[in-house]
Structure 1
Amino acid sequence: MKTHTFPAAAVGHTYCRRRRDKEFSQYYHEVLRFMKKHRVKNPARQALDYALATGSPHYDVDFDYAYRIMCAHLNRGSLPVKGEVRKALWLELAGKVQELMQAGVGVAPALEFVLEHGRASHFFISRSNVRAHLGKLLQPSRQYNLGSL
């Protein structure tokens, strides 16, 4: 039985998290610059809200983990993940994978394609996660306090 392999550079939870953090930070700073240029009140908060709602990032999940979740979802019909934000991500990802499967593609190749080339509808990051894990990335200068976000 041939095992399916995902590109070596993209393997691992840490890599996926760093990619997500970098993508979010870059997009947030672009939005923040735009908000400042147009003198929006409370630009940091407005930029964060906009970035969370409208970004189009890669899926930030490891292939092996995604494959296990997808198989569990396809076999049982339920998602073995906790949290509304995470469930929304998995439902969106599962929908794209299932569209390819309906066209005759197997689970592993469909999942690999979506993870490699697909884009999420928005950043699936909660505000608390942004504050906890991305705080240093989000502070373009000392004038913005994460407590206000």
Structure 2
Amino acid sequence: MDIAHQVLTRYYRLIVMDSGNTARAANWRRMIHHTNQLVVPVTAIEDRAEAARLTLQTLQSRGGHDAELARNAVVIVSESTDARHSMTSDALKRAKDEARRIADAFTPTSAPSPASPTTPPSSTDPSATTPSNPPPNAPGSPPQQPWPWASK
């Protein structure tokens, strides 16, 4: 991990590492050592959200750099809507409500994060606040960049 990070930082300003959530693994700890910003993507399913919360709590309990990463982590909660095309409007509303409930549970542990990849936090359009329901692009316009404001 250390050598790979050293080589990559020579050529890239942004390095993204996907590690899973095995906080006890040696390679995971080395990755955390090199991390400047922790982003935790979570599906709005309770057991997955709980695993992410426990990972953040583990980091926080270690103190120092690890605790700072946990406090400033960006947690992105997406709705669990695998069968979205067949969901009723009531089921979609329940999925959105569940995603909001789970996201709210992260607030004391990490930095709050909106759930939309394309709508900035100041958006007032609740119908465009989830990754599964981004606002449409205007015809002929370039596609929107996902999460343009998440790392600011």
- Higher helix proportion (structure 1 or 2): 1
- Higher strand proportion (structure 1 or 2): 2
Under a length normalisation based on structure 1, what TM-score does the superposition of the two structures give? 0.29
Under a length normalisation based on structure 2, what TM-score does the superposition of the two structures give? 0.28
User: Greater relative contact order: 1 or 2 (C-alpha under 8 angstroms, separation 6 or more)?
Assistant: 1
